[in-house]
Amino acid sequence: MGKKVKTWQEALAVVQDGMTIMIGGFLAVGTPECLIDGLLECGVRDLVVIGNDTGFVDKGIGRLVAAGRCREVIVSHVGTNPETGRQMHSGELKVTLVPQGTLAEQVRAGGAGLGGILTPTGIGTVVAEGKQVIEVGGKEYLLELPLRADVALIKAHQADEKGNLVYRRSARNFNPLMAKAADVVIAEVDEIVPVGSLDPDAVVTPGLLVDMIVPGGAQHGS
């Protein structure tokens, strides 16, 4: 196997208490569940987690929330996980809610090295509180700042040993954006294949962006 292929223990050794972590997925579809298993087992806490949502109590990012490992989540909705709502109302967890399209663009801007994005979404609502409003062509826009993370945990269907990634259908969602917006990128994959086995047209995330690959699914071991 290539040098990028690691056990979850080796890969997650880079994750420390208090880090900002991006985790791919949409209602736990395309979420690296084996890496979340690893985070729970290795005991890191006080995390700031950026993701589309907090999944469910027993699935996806929601498992980290339920275990009390997060101090803040930055997400587009929390309605499918009542534990997130409970912790938010009790003051145990800070929840920053962001319109879904804005969240995706903030992550994209972080990966592209941009200073922010301008969006009309949120003008005149609580979303605009404390944010800079910029007028362009007679129309007002909110300046939304880029998002980056210390580590991105993403999920792909296939990888070759160089880290080139192929996603499966809608499980792609936030994963390619997050692969560009973190200092260290760890990809959990269903299948690892030799270099040259993947159709270049099918590769969405080039191996240049991926630091480590962890076998998932049937290949996952403890």
The fold for domain 8-115+145-217 equals Glutaconate Coenzyme A-transferase (3.40.1080)
What's the mean pLDDT in 123-136? Answer: 95
- Domain boundaries defined on the chain: 8-115+145-217
Contact 52, 98 (CB under 8 A): no
pLDDT for 219 equals 44
What is the gyration radius of the CA atoms in the chain, in angstroms?
Answer: 18
What length does the chain have? 222
Q: What is the pLDDT of residues 76-89, one digit of tens each?
A: 999 999 999 999 99
pLDDT for 1 equals 55
Average pLDDT over the chain reads 95
- pTM reported for the whole predicted model: 0.94
What's the N-to-C CA distance of the chain in angstroms? 18
Closest CA to 24 of 216, 160, 194, 220: 216
Closest CA to 24 of 176, 162, 160, 164: 176
What's the mean pLDDT in 100-120? Answer: 98
Q: What is the pLDDT of residues 30-79, one digit of tens each?
A: 999 999 999 999 999 999 999 999 999 999 999 999 999 999 999 999 99
